[in-house]
């Protein structure tokens, strides 16, 4: 079972005295601490311009973590491909970071969702699917072959050129290539590419389970084998005090949910006008009908928080409905203080991870 940490690098919900410098230094300290624990990997997002999340170059951030850590894997969660007008540069930076980490690097790709980020880059949101579908296969082919392929398409025209430095390893699709897939069409594209799926938990468990099964069926069809278990990203509060865990979840998870609605304009109608986001248009319509207050309340209850025992009972229910999947814990969000995030991370590591890994071994032995 894969268990990692996703870092959002936000300041939304923080006290006005919290500087960008403080956010970065504290996140780096949490990442360095995770390297001494039993977490498998650290994921860094790509987002721009806002308190919601400001990590404009996750390769730079992960390169710094590479020098601060020794054994934990480092992953982009994700590189937003349409925002990079020359995707060859993504492959080059991935190969370079792979060398700097001696093969600890994992590549995660995504196509982006926030209208304001597309607009601020001067890139049409309607082009996101086409740009991703044209670029992503080239990136993974380059990393596996060591050469960027000759290509002439709608958005990119490039000669065949070597990646220098070459990747540390040419094995990517087996265990180091992931795609963020929050909609069925993205999940099918991930299956076509041979990518593991990563998703953020915001849909009803029944819907997530159904879409996961559809992804696995697509993967078998395209790849002729079973996919790696998906990664599910959770906003997490782990505390020895149940009342304090609830208090923090109702404050910080709710704050994060509000920031998501604002950043992605989830209660707006822009997804209906964009030609390649039909799933989000349906979700936005459903959220408008339910209302903001109820959306946030439901979002808080859907995340994983509580005492270690409460958290483990939630995971038991999840695994019973979805089967095995990997867990990406987000401990810092919505203004969560450093000491609260650190306490959650330590307690989850000490009390939950050993049990979760034991369950996975028991299921594997029984299979």
Q: Give the CATH number for residue 61.
A: 3.20.20.30
- Tokens 């299921």, residue located: 363
* DSSP secondary structure letters along 250-281: IIIIHHHHHHHHHHTTTTSSHHHHSTT-HHHH
Give me the domain span that covers residue 136. Answer: 3-241+305-366
The Cβ of residue 55 has, within 10 Å, a number of other Cβ atoms equal to 22
Q: What is the pLDDT along the chain (367 residues), one digit of tens a residue?
A: 999 999 999 999 999 999 999 999 999 999 999 999 999 999 999 999 999 999 999 999 999 999 999 999 999 999 999 999 999 999 999 999 999 999 999 999 999 999 999 999 999 999 999 999 999 999 999 999 999 999 999 999 999 999 999 999 999 998 999 999 999 999 999 999 999 999 999 889 999 999 999 999 999 999 999 999 999 999 999 999 999 999 999 999 999 999 999 999 999 988 988 888 988 988 899 999 999 999 999 999 999 999 999 999 999 999 999 999 999 999 999 999 999 999 999 999 999 999 999 999 998 898 7
In a domain, residue 202? The reply is: yes
In a domain, residue 248? The reply is: no
In a domain, residue 169? The reply is: yes
- Cα torsion angle, 124, 129, 133, 139, sign: positive
In a domain, residue 80? The reply is: yes
Number of independent structural domains in the chain: 1
Cα angle for residues 216, 219, 220 (degrees, 5° grid): 90
Residues 6+ apart with CB under 8 A from 41: 2, 4, 5, 72, 73, 74, 75, 106
Structure tokens at 80: 């937003």
In a domain, residue 285? The reply is: no
Residues 6+ apart with CB under 8 A from 36: none
């Amino acid at each position: 079972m894969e268990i990692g940490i996703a870092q959002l690098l936000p300041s939304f919900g923080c006290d006005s005295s919290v500087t960008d410098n403080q956010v970065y230094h504290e996140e780096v300290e949490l990442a360095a601490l995770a390297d001494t624990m039993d977490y498998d990997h650290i994921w860094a997002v790509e987002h721009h311009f806002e308190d919601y999340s400001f990590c404009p170059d996750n390769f730079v951030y992960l390169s710094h973590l590479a020098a601060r850590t020794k054994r934990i894997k480092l992953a982009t969660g994700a590189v937003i491909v349409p925002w990079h007008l020359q995707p060859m540069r993504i492959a080059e930076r991935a190969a370079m970071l792979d060398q700097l980490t001696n093969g600890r690097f994992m590549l995660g790709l995504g196509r982006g969702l926030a209208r304001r980020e597309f607009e601020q880059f001067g890139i049409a949101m309607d082009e996101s699917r086409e740009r991703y579908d044209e670029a992503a296969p080239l990136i993974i082919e380059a990393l596996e072959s060591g050469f960027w392929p000759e290509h002439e398409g709608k958005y990119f025209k490039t000669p065949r050129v070597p990646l220098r430095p070459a990747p540390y390893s040419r094995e990517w699709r087996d265990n180091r290539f992931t795609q963020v897939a929050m909609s069925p069409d993205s999940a099918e594209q991930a299956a076509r590419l041979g990518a593991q799926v990563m998703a953020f938990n915001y849909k009803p468990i029944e819907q997530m389970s159904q879409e996961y099964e559809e992804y696995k069926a697509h993967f078998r069809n395209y790849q002729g084998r079973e996919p790696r278990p998906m990664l599910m990203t959770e906003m997490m509060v782990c505390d020895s005090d149940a009342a304090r865990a609830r208090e923090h979840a109702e404050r910080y998870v709710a704050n994060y949910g509000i920031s998501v609605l604002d950043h992605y304009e989830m209660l707006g109608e822009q997804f209906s006008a964009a030609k390649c986001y039909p799933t989000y248009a349906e979700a936005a319509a459903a959220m408008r009908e339910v209302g903001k207050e109820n959306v946030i309340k439901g979002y808080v209850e859907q995340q994983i928080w509580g005492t270690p025992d409460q958290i483990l009972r939630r995971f038991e229910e999840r695994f019973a409905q979805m089967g095995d999947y990997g867990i990406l814990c987000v401990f810092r969000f919505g203004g969560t203080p450093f000491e609260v995030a650190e306490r959650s991370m330590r307690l989850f590591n000490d009390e939950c991870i050993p049990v979760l890994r034991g369950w996975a071994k028991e299921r594997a032995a029984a299979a």
